[in-house]
Structures are given as structure tokens and as C-alpha cells.
Amino acid sequence: MNLIRLSTLVLTATIAAAGCTQKPPPGPPPSGVLQQGTVTATATVKKINQKSREVTLALPDGTTTTIHAGPEVRNLAQVKAGDLVTITYMGSLSYQVFRKGSGATPGVAIAQDAVRADPGERPGAAGARVVTVTTTIKAIDKKAGTVTLAGLEGGEDVVVQARNPDNLNRVVVGDSVEITMTEAVGIDVSAPQK
């Protein structure tokens, strides 16, 4: 093998290796909350049919709606006209970047749980669900301010606009991104205040 060809191979290998072993940017990788909030609504029980399990609710805007309380609703016999039904929904969407080689595995994980009132208690229930999606950064376009995230399980790649373009200086191709959506809902039935 001649010296010129050997030099070209060494130079090509060096350039390829330099591209594959990007040095992580200094400082911690970005993370944050994209959205979060709580919504609470209260309605008044206008009438209730225990036999058909239909409950008519008067909403704050003056309209009414009728719902069917399924068999999973315990203690319906304790609900009376005039009772207040309060529903609270909480949700958040956050992200966390992990350095390439951190061991984060691409995929989707779901955790959920629910509880309901014990027999004899006032009706009520609560539930929560956490969905975590872990993917990998495939490309970074600082000029456009975007990151391309690898599709999961044969799905298409997703291009995401960075809310803070400075964060693009804190990530490299191959870093993992964990996106977490958290939802919780609570239902409480209470007697009206006297």
C-alpha cells in the first residue's frame, strides 16, 4: 500500500471518528416543563334517579347535563339533589435530556392508578396516569432552530421546534430525550355549604 493511500485512509478514519464522538457540551443537559395547569369545575346535582343511575347536573353557566353513573360508582345512594360535584383535572408536560450513553432505552412506558371511595363513604374517585416517551436526537438544525427525534417502533421521525434555541447548544446527536405527560383527575361529591 502506498504512503498517499495510507495517509488518505488515516485522514478519512480520523474525520469519521471525530464526527462520531462529538464532545458533550459543557453544563447539564436541558430539561423543563413545557405546560402545566389545573382546571376545577363544580356542578350541582339537580336530580338523581337511583334506579336508572342517571344524574342531572346543573352547570355554572345555567345549562344542565345528564350522566349515567356506571356500576363502578360506589355509594350513589348517598348522593342527593343539591349536592356539589367537583372535578379537578391537573396536567403537565415536561422533558429531560440525557447524555448519549446514559443507558436510556427508547420506548414508551405507562403507569396509572385509580382509587375510589370505600363503601359507606361519600362518593369520590381519583386517578392518575403518567406516560413517558424516550427517544433519541437524530439531527440538530441550529439555523432552523429544530431537533429531529427518532420515530419509535418503525414510526416516522418527528421534527420539533426548540422553544429556547440556546438549548440546541446544550445537546448533541445521540442524546436521549425523555418526554413525560402527567394527568390526574379527582371527583368529589359534597353537601352544599349551609
Residue 77 contacts residue 49 (beta carbons within 8 Å):
no
Residue 22's pLDDT is: 58
Pairing label, strands 64-68, 124-141: unpaired
Residue 59's pLDDT is: 95
Residue 93's pLDDT is: 96
Across the chain, which has 194 residues, the per-10-residue mean pLDDT values are 33 34 73 94 96 96 94 90 96 94 91 92 93 96 96 91 92 95 96 84
Q: What's the whole-model pTM score?
A: 0.75
Q: Where are the domains of the chain?
A: 27-190
d(CA 50, CA 32): 47
Task: Please state the φ and ψ torsions of residue 8, each to the nearest 5 degrees.
Answer: -65, -45
DSSP secondary structure, 5-64, as one string: HHHHHHHHHHHHHHHHSPPPPSSPPPEEEEEEEEEEEEEEEEEEETTTTEEEEE-TTS-E
Which residues are 136's β-sheet partners? 176
* Amino acid making up residue 74: R
Closest CA to 72 of 112, 127, 111: 127
Closest CA to 58 of 33, 28, 82, 39: 82
Residue 193's pLDDT is: 83
